[in-house]
């Protein structure tokens, strides 16, 4: 790996994994397996929620967009990292880094927003079942999803513009497997990174509001579930909704922690693990937790794999 002229080169050098060639190849293979697993899971969900007309309720509509988002989210960072590990060259062009920051920050915010919308969908379905079809009107759902994706684009523009208005005057070495904003801020030797801090603070406040909304929704959901007379019904609802809350809490807490904690001049293995927790783990686990544990989804998946025909009869499902 060439380390010379890292200050004057136009791009950046990603330095994170061991210099041992065998370990680099092992890390690349692990990332490749995770990436292929994530692609397969999410493409299956997108396919069955598109083909099966029984899976056209708001819950599955949001799940389809979550899967599309997870495909985008993991594709922003992992393929580039695999290429760097296999070639032994951590160089990333300036333009590539800009695009990575834009799509990563956009996807991160869309993930937060869509998890919030999904928690409200479950709240409306369980706590307000008589008004669910009115609240989650198909046109309203489409408008919400469009707003979520547009807000992600705005977030990405704000982060990218603020980040790359910085003058990078230090060695352009990023101790991360992607163009991580906290690591980029370390390359500035003046106070021109204050714009990024402002954007990060604003988005952290919005993310905290979303997290409170998610918790509020699930508190009401669980209080409603406890009033269900059937023990089997309570157990089924809890076993499905608790993982939902865990995924949202896990993603938000690790992401906020990573952005707010001070960066270290000598990154440790724990720094990389935390990054993997909010960049790689959620897109891989979301399909299992949100969709593949759902009986309707598993039935549709069996039809797809066994070559069965999907029904054309539309139903309005509101199960958790």
Per-residue model confidence as pLDDT tens digits over 202-252: 988 898 899 899 989 988 988 888 887 777 767 767 766 777 787 788 787
Tell me the mean pLDDT in the region 166-183: 84
Cβ-Cβ contacts under 8 Å for 106 (sequence gap 6 or more) = 152, 153, 155, 156
Provide the pLDDT for residue 318. 39
Per-residue model confidence as pLDDT tens digits over 17-51: 667 788 888 889 999 999 999 999 999 889 888 88
Q: What is the pTM of this model?
A: 0.86
Residue-range definition of the domain harbouring residue 149: 12-304
Provide the pLDDT for residue 317. 41
Within a domain: 4: no
Within a domain: 104: yes
Of 177-181, 186-190, 255-259, 302-306, the range with the highest mean pLDDT is 177-181
Within a domain: 317: no
Say if residue 316's pLDDT is above 50. Answer: no
Within a domain: 311: no
Within a domain: 313: no
Average model confidence (pLDDT) for the chain? Answer: 82
Say if residue 97's pLDDT is above 60. Answer: yes
Within a domain: 131: yes
Within a domain: 256: yes
List the CATH number of the domain containing 175: 1.20.1070.10
Total number of domains in the chain: 1
Per-residue model confidence as pLDDT tens digits over 123-174: 998 888 888 888 888 899 999 999 999 999 999 999 999 999 888 877 788 8
Say if residue 2's pLDDT is above 50. Answer: no
Q: Which two structure tokens, joined as six digits, stand for 35?
A: 């990436």
Tokens 């910085």 — which residue? 166
Within a domain: 50: yes
């Amino acid at each position: 790996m060439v380390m010379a002229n890292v200050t004057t080169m136009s791009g950046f050098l990603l330095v994170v994994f061991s210099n041992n060639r065998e370990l680099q190849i092992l890390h690349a293979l692990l990332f490749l397996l995770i990436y292929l697993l994530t692609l397969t899971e999410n493409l299956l969900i997108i396919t069955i929620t598109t083909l099966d007309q029984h899976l056209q309720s708001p819950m599955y509509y949001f799940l389809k967009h979550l899967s599309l988002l997870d495909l985008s989210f993991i594709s922003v960072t992992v393929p580039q990292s695999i290429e760097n590990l296999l070639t032994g060259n951590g160089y990333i062009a300036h333009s590539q880094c800009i695009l990575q920051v834009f799509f990563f920050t956009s996807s991160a915010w869309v993930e937060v927003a869509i998890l919030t919308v999904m928690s409200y969908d479950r709240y409306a379905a369980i706590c307000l079942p008589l008004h669910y079809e009115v609240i989650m009107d198909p046109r309203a759902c489409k408008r919400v999803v469009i707003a979520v994706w547009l807000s992600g684009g705005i977030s990405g523009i704000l982060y990218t513009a603020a980040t790359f208005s910085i003058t990078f005057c230090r060695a352009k070495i990023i101790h991360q497997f992607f163009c991580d904003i906290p690591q980029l801020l370390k390359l500035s030797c003046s106070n021109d990174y204050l714009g990024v801090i402002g954007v990060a603070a604003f988005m952290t406040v919005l993310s905290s509001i979303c997290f409170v909304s998610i918790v509020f929704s699930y508190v009401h959901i669980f209080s409603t579930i406890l009033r269900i007379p059937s023990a089997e019904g309570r157990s089924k609802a809890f076993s499905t909704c608790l993982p939902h809350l865990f995924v949202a809490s896990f993603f938000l807490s690790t992401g906020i922690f990573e952005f707010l904690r001070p960066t270290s001049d000598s990154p440790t293995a724990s720094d990389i693990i935390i990054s993997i927790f909010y960049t790689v783990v959620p897109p891989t686990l979301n399909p299992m937790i949100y969709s593949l544990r759902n009986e309707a989804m598993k039935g549709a998946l069996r039809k797809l794999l066994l070559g069965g025909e999907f029904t054309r009869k539309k139903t309005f499902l509101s199960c958790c």
